[in-house]
Amino acid sequence: MRIITGELKGKKLFSIKGQTTRPTSDKLRETIFNILANRLIGAFVLDLFAGTGALGIEAISRGALFSYFIDNKKEAVAIINKNIKSCKFEDRSSIIQWDIKRSLKCIEMLKNKFDLVFMDPPYNAGLIKPALINLQQSGTLQAGASVVIEHALYEPIPDDLKEFKISDKRKYRRTFLSILKYEY
């Protein structure tokens, strides 16, 4: 796994050993960032279910101003920290160990609002809807923010959350990539 382009193009990232975390492939990350190219410069980013932190780190490498990383696993938080230090992005990032399904109270007091959110929850675990609800309730999204969700083919994006509208949806092998626009 590596940074695809930007400030740290080609930089290798550390991965979590075992099969508990499914990192986003380089090719899918490239697709995501090609779609988002004009939304990155100066963006305030949230990487939920962050795993290795590759999405948030790639965003910083491509011009995002700051990225918050949230994951509930100690191993993931340790790897994200290692990757951030390796990339020398400590002053442009923050890591929080938190259960996203429970709430997102950990970010409610932030002064800046997010322009871009990445969500890569465990597949078929029923976490997309609770995460979107908690994200909306946190009050930390800019109007017009993009929420990028990587999910299983048979795991739908909820259509009863009026604040989130699907603006793009693509199939990539056995994965769906859905981009939602926050319309508040």
**Residue 60: closest CA among 6, 13, 1:** 6
Burial class (CB in 10 A: 0-12, 13-18, 19+), 155: middle
> What does the pLDDT read at residue 158?
93
114-165: pLDDT as tens digits = 999 999 999 999 999 999 999 999 999 999 999 999 999 889 899 899 999 9
15-58: pLDDT as tens digits = 987 655 666 777 888 889 999 988 999 999 999 999 999 999 99
CATH assignment of 26-145, among 3.20.20.80, 3.40.50.150, 3.30.160.270, 3.40.50.720: 3.40.50.150
**Residue 54: closest CA among 107, 122, 100, 118:** 118
Q: Which residue has the tokens 């995501």?
A: 32
In terms of pTM, does the model score above 0.85? yes
